Amino acid sequence: MTPIEPVLMLSAAGGGVTLDFDFTVAIQMLLFVVLMFLLEPLLFQPVLRIFALREERTEGARAKARALEERAGELLKRYEKELERVHRVAATERERLRQETTALESEILHEAREATTKILDEGRRRIETEVNRIRFDLGRESEQISRRIVEKALGAEASR
């Protein structure tokens, strides 16, 4: 009996599992070590290289994505800045056009008032001239009528 067997038997008597160690365990361990040495260059190193390459590419893609995000942020800032400048220029131009329109409107209204005043003055002069002519004509006619009345009145008196 080997020195380990009494320990294993004691544990078996207590309801434990009995293990039987023989030279197959040593062979399995030797096979494990041999396989480790054989599979390391054939399997493990290529797989680890693939993982490292994948990680490197992933980091490269992340770095590229960060660079693109930064560039997009800069472009957005430039766009917003340019948009603000365009809004300011448009507001300035709109104000200038409003002032020009107001000045033109004022000029047109002034010209219309002058034209209206001319037309009114000309109409008043015509009316005044017409009124004076009518008064003159009325004065002459009233003179003639009063002479006729006087002549008729005197003629009627003389015939009496």
Q: How many domains does the chain have?
A: 1
pLDDT digits (tens, 9 = 90+) for 60-87: 899 999 999 999 999 999 999 999 999 9
**Domain limits for position 103:** 23-155
How confident is the model over 11-29, as pLDDT tens digits?
Answer: 555 667 787 778 898 999 9
Within a domain: 83: yes
- Token pair for 111: 């010209």
Residue 66 inside a domain? The answer is yes
Residue 8: exposure state from Cβ atoms within 10 A (0-12, 13-18, ≥19):
middle
- The stretches of the chain forming alpha helices (DSSP H) are 5-13, 23-39, 45-159
Q: Is residue 31 part of a domain?
A: yes
What pLDDT does 2 receive? 60
Residue 70 lies in a domain: yes
- Would 13 be classed as within a structural domain? no
Torsion sign (Cα): 89, 95, 97, 100: negative
Residue 58 lies in a domain: yes
At 114 the three-state DSSP class reads helix
- Has residue 7 been placed in a domain? no
Non-local CB neighbours of 20 within 8 Å, separated by 6+ positions:
8
The tokens of 157 are what?
């008196």
Q: Is residue 141 part of a domain?
A: yes
What's the pLDDT score for residue 121? Answer: 94
DSSP letters, 6-43, are: HHHHHHHHTT-------HHHHHHHHHHHHHHHHHIIII
